[in-house]
Amino acid sequence: MSALVHAVDALRVPLPLAQGVTENNPIIRWSYLTEQSDRIIQALVQHVQLTVGAVSIGLALSMVLAGIGLRYRWTMGPITGTTAVLYTIPSVAFFGVLVPYTGSSATTALIPLVCFTLLILVTNIVDGFRAVPRPVKEAAEGMGLSPTSRVLTVELPIATPYIINGLRIATVTTVGLVTVAAIIGYGGLGRLILDGLRRGFWTPLTIGAALSILLAIVLDLAFFLLGRALTPWSRSVRTGRSGDHGEAGDDADAGSDPAGAARPVTAGA
């Protein structure tokens, strides 16, 4: 519990009352970057670790949940419902509520972060597998593929753009939420922000905030490029018109069905 007491001690320091930006306390003091580079790097590393950890665990859980939901259709409602409720829990409340039970630890930070990724990932994975056109599945069966190899070699590649897209949203969202975990003393760059706010010292605040925004943008871009790299075939697919309702259901390509609307819910199942 000493970690908790330590984290909580920091919180006792009240915010400075309307201390302005002065010459001694500019919005950013550049020398801080070199003097405190260890601290900044440490915060950045922790931020990335929490993000990667939460999204990886979230992805593993979501794969299982999506698998169950696709296999046993009646479970889909409860699964989506539960993950949606988890997603709605206000972040400050979620982090705070866990402190009495799991203390100020990585676990306390990770549990809400993982829960927040589930709805995004499950939805996208399910959508991805539902986007596999029935004729494609039948053709795969007709060629004698076993269910396992059909899923891995036919359905998974078709679902990949959806899954990558889900990962992208989940990752960017998580980068933002990690900063909130600073309130329990475990927030990566969020700690720089909170520390800066508490001490009324703007440099760490600015650095923490700017780096968290930058990290989100960089990861967003990385997943965009990863998605392109993993699905080279999708670039050559002919564009379908948005008005063509009839054929869209048979269209394997995610992007050519802009509304997704035309795809009957049953088609992919």
Partner 1 sequence: MGATLAQQAVPRDTGVFEFLLDPDRWTGSTGILASGADSVLLCAAVIVTSIVLAVPAATVLAHGRRLELTSAWVVNIGRAMPTFGVAGLLVPFSLRAGYGFEPWPIFIALTLLTVPPMYLSTYTAIRQVPAGAVDAARAVGYTERDVLLRVELPLALRVIGTGVRVAAVQVVATEPIRAFLGGDGLGRYVRDGLGQNNSNLVIAGAILIGLLAASTGLLFAGLEWLLMPAGVRRLGGARTGRVQSSDATILTTDDGDGEAAGGPPGLHVASEPAEAGASSGGVRGSP
Q: Which C-beta is closer to partner 1: that of 52 or that of 261?
A: 261
Distances in whole angstroms, Cα of residue 44 to Cα of each of 28, 78, 92, 193, 250: 18, 37, 21, 12, 45
Query: Rounded CA gap, 228 and 132, in Å?
Result: 19
Name which of 115 and 151 has its Cβ closer to partner 1: 115
By rule CB under 8 A, what count of residues binds partner 1? 99
Site residues (CB under 8 A) for partner 1, limited to 113-152: 116, 119-120, 123-124, 127, 130
Query: Widest CA span of the chain, in angstroms?
Result: 75
Helical pair 202-230 and 37-71, crossing angle rounded to 10 deg: 40
Distances (CA, A) of 169 to 150, 161, 175, 210, 248: 27, 12, 10, 19, 25
* Surface-to-core class of residue 237, CB atoms within 10 Å of its CB (0-12 exposed, 13-18 middle, 19+ buried): middle
4 versus 106: smaller Cβ distance to partner 1: 4
55 lines the binding site for partner 1 (CB under 8 A): no
**Please, what is the minimum distance in Å from the beta carbon of residue 147 to partner 1?**
22
Q: Given the rule CB under 8 A, which of 12-20, 35-43, 53-61, 149-157 is the region that contacts partner 1?
A: 12-20
- Smaller CB separation from partner 1, 111 or 120: 120
Spatial distance between the Cα atoms of 212 and 188, rounded to a whole number of angstroms:
9
Among 133, 176, 199, 230, binds partner 1 (CB under 8 A): 176
* Tokens, residue 133: 């056109």
- 3-state class of 229 per DSSP? helix
Give the nearest distance from C-beta 145 to partner 1 in angstroms. Answer: 25
Is 107 among the residues that bind partner 1 (CB under 8 A)? Answer: no
Binding mask 62-101 for partner 1 (x = CB under 8 A): --------------xxx-xx--xx-xxxxxxxx-xx-xx-
Do residues 108 and 95 lie in contact, with contact meaning Cβ atoms separated by under 8 Å? Answer: yes
Binding flag, residue 246, partner 1 (CB under 8 A): no
- How many helices, marked H, and strands, marked E, lie in the chain? 12, 0
Q: What phi and psi, each to the nearest 5 degrees, are found at residue 90? A: -60, 135
If the CB atoms of residues 77 and 135 are measured against partner 1, the closer one turns out to be: 77
In terms of CB distance, is 11 or 143 closer to partner 1? Answer: 11
Q: Check binding of 14 to partner 1 (CB under 8 A).
A: yes
Q: Measured from the CB atom, is 150 or 168 closer to partner 1? A: 168
Residue 156 in the binding site for partner 1 (CB under 8 A): no
Structure tokens of 23?
A: 């010459």
Task: Tell me the C-alpha distance between 258 and 268, whole Å.
Answer: 17
Binding-site member from 2, 27, 38, 71 for partner 1 (CB under 8 A): 27
Q: Residue 207 Cβ, how far from partner 1 at the closest point, in Å?
A: 10
191 near partner 1, rule: CB under 8 A: no
